[in-house]
A and B are shown apart, each in its own frame.
Chain A
Amino acid sequence: MIDQEVSRDVLEHATRDIFEMMIFMGVERVDPTEFKHLDGNSLLGTITFNGGIEGCFGFCCSDASAKAVAASMLGLDPDDEVADQDVNDAIGEVVNMVMGSIKAAQSVFHDVHVSIPTVIRGRGIEYHPGEGSTGIVDHVKIGDDFSAELSLHWHKHAEKKE
């Protein structure tokens, strides 16, 4: 049994630590009603896990937010041009590191195998967990101007029937 509130705290701390240590940007949870929904081009980074439980962590943000994150990670100025591949890689690294921190912090995730992250771009991208999943969705403000949606969903392995 996974405590959703514990997972929410773990997810928030993991995300905050990574952004403070490696991206040099603050992260703060915001009320979903204050979250500016993504209606333009956006990126979705996902990483799946399986083992005792299986599921997916997703990080979805606007194109502008992703570019700002990548620029900061690479030590560039916010106005510098960042190649799309670098932006994809940076978001992939963010989901990889958040998932690694969740895995380390919450015992139920200790033994899961984690996939290589995948990043997709497009307009109006939304993350939908599979049927029967439980989990959490958090909205965060990144720095002063950017935001992202974090989703962590899981379900127990279906037991094989004899």
Chain B
Amino acid sequence: MITLENVGLRYGNAPEVLSDVNLRIEKSSFQYLTGPSGAGKTSLLRLLFMSLRPTRGVVSLFGRATGDLAPKEVAALRRRVGVVFQDFRLLDHLTTYENVALPLRVQGRAESSYRADVIELLRWVGLGNRMHVLPPVLSGGEKQRAAIARAVIGQPELLLADEPTGNVDPQLGRRLLRLLIELNKLGTSIIIATHDVMLMEQFDARRLVLHDGHLQVFERGGA
């Protein structure tokens, strides 16, 4: 579904932050992306949601090379990818409900067609009573849940999550992980960038380990 072939990435004239990355993400797969800070995890995620273009090599999403896509095609591909940012990126002037519904709203769907789904999801992530408040009054954990809800509301084929459990207590972290596992069972491929060893131990999955820009893949079960 997603392939990276000999991908290299550098910012300006600096040394490569990613070197010779080869990777294949299968449909309905689940993987952690891990490695020390500055190893290139966020850069790799940005390549995957087409916020960056590789300096060399080819990144293909859903069978399309991302190098020379027209803006419309990029937008269409991005609708198939959900992203959870480390810093949430909620829009402060929209309510929690509106933030979560945003991906559906930009698709031009009528609110009546998605209202029930958004409310159900907000209840599921424990934000049922916070749906009409603005993000500045939400706690860190609530923002995190809202950000995850926004990423999954459109049932994306690929979900990229940057430290999705970084701001929540272990109990809620487990609940969010369960949400992502459920989503995975429905067919969404999941990539979770994380430092959280406890999280990775809770659910064994393929591990993509970045070190100094080089990627090593450890299949499920320590293979």
Q: Do A and B bind each other?
A: no
Residues of A participating in the B interface, judged by any CB pair closer than 8 Å: none
